[in-house]
Chain A
């Protein structure tokens, strides 16, 4: 039973480049969440989808960040014109329904912006 799969595990970009992170939720899970983790800010909520529809993106920086869920088997987080302060571990999680705190997290994608 595969867990949440995130790719790539590590990504290094130059300042101003674009970064796209992928997430494959657990099969059958209807909710997908994106979090960002840094030493300073801890775990920050970014956005979530339920049945592929965007429900809450209140944590997403209004510029440069976007997330999509084109089908039930994957979601993407895209960061345009990356900045050094975007360096973080981006975590994707899924749950069977959104009305539960039982999130299953992937191992994360570590983004480093030089």
Chain B
């Protein structure tokens, strides 16, 4: 049972375009949603996060849109750069549980110059 789902599995965009990465979840108790960025040979690094009380979070070129009713969220990367090429993981946790982070399967983003 996959509690956090991501799509697409891989995505290719041109430099300067907006990349949109999708995530959905099943557990209504999830209330914290971080996105992690991972480069080959490195561990994941926190990119941006959102709490379920918000519907949008911006940090520079990165924006999370959150729809609690539909249990969906998306990460928008504006003005994509080749250096953004990485795997992006959506994750979720519940403040009422053990705070265990459940990760999605990831989206591999390639930004073509």
Task: Write the residues of chain A forming the contact surface with B, with a CB cutoff of 8 angstroms.
Answer: 4, 33, 35, 42-43, 45, 48, 55-56, 58-59, 91, 93, 98-108
User: Beyond A43-B44, A45-B101, A105-B43: 11 further Cβ-contacts under 8 Å?
Assistant: A33-B101, A43-B103, A55-B98, A56-B98, A98-B99, A99-B99, A100-B32, A102-B49, A103-B46, A103-B101, A105-B44
A101→B104 contact, CB < 8 A: no
**B106–A102 contact, CB under 8 A?**
no
| Complex CA–CA separation, A107 to B45 (angstroms) | 10
Interface-located stretch among B62-70, B75-83, B89-97: B89-97
B109 to chain A, nearest CB (A): 16
Q: Interface residues of B, CB < 8 Å — how many?
A: 24
**In the complex, residue of chain B having the shortest beta-carbon distance to the beta carbon of A108:** B43
A42 touches B104 (CB 8 A): yes
Q: Chain A nearest CB: distance from B81 CB in Å?
A: 23
Residues of B within 8 A of A58 (CB): 98, 100
Say which residue of A33, A91, A98, A101 sits within 8 Å of B34 (CB atoms). Answer: A101
Interchain nearest-CB distance for A35 vs B (Å): 8
A100 to B95, CA, bound (A): 8
Among candidates A42, A56, A93, A101, residue contacting B43 with C-beta atoms closer than 8 Å: A93
In the docked arrangement, what's the CA distance between A104 and B95, Å?
18
In the complex, chain B residues whose CB is within 8 Å of the CB of A108:
42-43
Q: Give the docked Cα–Cα distance between A35 and B38 (Å).
A: 14
Q: Are the CB atoms of B89 and A43 closer together than 8 Å?
A: yes
- Whole-angstrom CA separation of A103 from B98 in the bound complex: 14
